């Protein structure tokens, strides 16, 4: 299957919100309430206790949704809020960079973790990474991806990151964005102390076999990858952050995609493209 990375695709942030400009109208109300209550909004569970956050969530998802879906969308709203609050940092990786980072990363203890901002979104090339999943995927534990042996694999779109307190790093993996159905699937990973998160870039995650290796039929012909556990998602994320830190010249201005073409729906957001740095 062809891998698309020529422009940034529509993001889960845009899919979550009911209309353009919604965040600029409603998210400041969450900020105001948090300031008045001196609330800690660096943790999803505390963010969800704000009445304005609850009001936004009800407007997005309605009153009758399954409680598990409400929980997932609450975490998605948390990351969307901090994405907006941080100025919508949106990074899109070209295929060559990702293939390089599957093979190369820092040695243990070689890199002090550094993030490109307190929050943001990283978009992977379309259909390059796959994970077990399904149309109603839900979290199944701290280090799991949803689905079982018979689950339909989902293509990974990318991940939100958040470290707004400067101490804990949270990731939300997003997958299952497809033209043929609405919605998406999310996998929240447990927060890690940022001081130790960099070690994940050098870890061997799978007890057997090569990290990121896919067993999907035809994966070897297309050179596709798989994420079989949350640990692999953290490893990939930290290698991306390492690459941005070590090769700052790899960041280029992104060019928005065409409207109404045959490819994926383009994002309305501005973005930076991460390219393979020669040498």
Q: What is the pLDDT at residue 140?
A: 32
Q: Which of 7-11, 156-160, 261-265 has the lowest mean pLDDT?
A: 261-265
Q: Using CA atoms, how far apart are residues 193 and 115, in angstroms rounded to an integer?
A: 13
Q: Which of 169-183, 192-206, 240-254 has the lowest mean pLDDT?
A: 169-183
Predicted confidence band of residue 147 (pLDDT cuts 50, 70, 90) = very low
Q: Using CA atoms, how far apart are residues 40 and 42, in angstroms rounded to an integer?
A: 6
The residues with which 252 forms a beta bridge, in sequence order, are 273
Instruction: Give 19-58 pLDDT, tens digit per residue.
Output: 999 999 999 999 999 999 999 999 999 999 999 999 999 8
Q: Using CA atoms, how far apart are residues 141 and 64, in angstroms rounded to an integer?
A: 25
In the chain, % of residues over pLDDT 90: 70
Q: What is the pTM of this model?
A: 0.91
Residue 173's contacts (CB-CB under 8 Å, 6 or more residues apart) are 131, 145, 156, 158, 159, 186, 187, 188, 189, 227, 230, 233
- Average pLDDT value for residue range 231-257: 95
**168 in helix, strand or coil?**
strand
Q: What is the pLDDT at residue 139?
A: 34
């Amino acid at each position: 299957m062809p891998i698309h990375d020529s422009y940034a695709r529509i993001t889960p942030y845009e899919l979550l919100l009911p209309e353009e400009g919604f965040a600029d109208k409603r998210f400041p109300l969450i900020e105001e309430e948090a300031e008045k209550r001196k609330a800690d909004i660096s943790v999803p569970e505390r963010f969800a206790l704000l009445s304005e956050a609850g009001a936004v969530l009800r407007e997005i998802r309605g009153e009758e949704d399954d409680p598990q879906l409400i929980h997932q969308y609450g975490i998605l709203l948390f990351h969307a809020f901090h994405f907006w609050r941080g100025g919508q940092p949106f990074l899109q990786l070209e295929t060559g960079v990702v293939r390089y980072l599957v093979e190369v990363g820092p040695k243990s203890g070689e890199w002090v973790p550094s993030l490109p901002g307190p929050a943001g979104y990283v978009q992977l090339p379309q259909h390059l990474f796959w994970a077990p999943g399904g149309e109603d995927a839900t979290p199944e534990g701290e280090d799991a991806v949803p689905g079982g042996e018979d689950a339909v694999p989902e293509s990974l779109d990318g991940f939100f990151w958040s470290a707004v307190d400067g101490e804990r790093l949270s990731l939300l993996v997003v997958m299952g964005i497809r033209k043929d159905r609405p919605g998406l699937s999310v996998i929240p990973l447990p927060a890690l102390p940022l001081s130790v998160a960099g070690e994940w870039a050098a870890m061997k995650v799978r007890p057997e076999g090569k990290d990121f290796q896919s067993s999907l039929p035809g994966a070897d012909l297309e050179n596709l990858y798989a994420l079989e556990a949350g640990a692999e998602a953290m490893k990939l994320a930290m290698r991306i952050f390492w690459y941005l830190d070590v090769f700052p010249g790899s960041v280029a201005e992104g060019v928005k995609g065409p409207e109404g073409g045959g490819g994926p729906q383009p994002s309305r957001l501005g973005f930076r493209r991460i390219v393979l740095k020669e040498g």
